[in-house]
Amino acid sequence: MSVEPVEEVQRTPLVTTLAAAATYFSVAPGVRLNVRSGPGTGYPIVKSLPEGSRVQIHCQAPGTQVTGPYGTTTIWDNIASGQYVSDAYVNTGSDGYIRQRCS
């Protein structure tokens, strides 16, 4: 009986694969976007994103209605822990939810 060599398969760590698959969305051109601690204009501003920013959306939540370059919406995008921006300023290509709702 002969044994043939087996080609070794290189495995990519899951974390690297997920990071590579991350999708970023553009903030409206010419806008310095306020980032708030919750999904609404009543929450404190925690920082501002500079013009030309791109954001990764982790989940989305209903909140204060806002009108911006991409329409009027009550959808708020969670871009990091305790950081939300109005979807009216993020070019997601949709008027509805594109991610799961934040829990």
pLDDT in tens, 29-60: 999 999 999 999 999 999 999 999 999 999 99
Whole-angstrom Cα distance, residue 41 to residue 74?
Answer: 11
Whole-angstrom Cα distance, residue 76 to residue 101?
Answer: 10
Q: What per-residue confidence (pLDDT) applies to 16?
A: 47
pLDDT, one tens digit per residue, over 45-103 is 999 999 999 999 999 999 999 999 999 999 999 999 999 999 999 999 999 999 999 98
| pLDDT of 3 strictly over 90 | no
What is the rounded average pLDDT of the residues 9-17?
A: 50
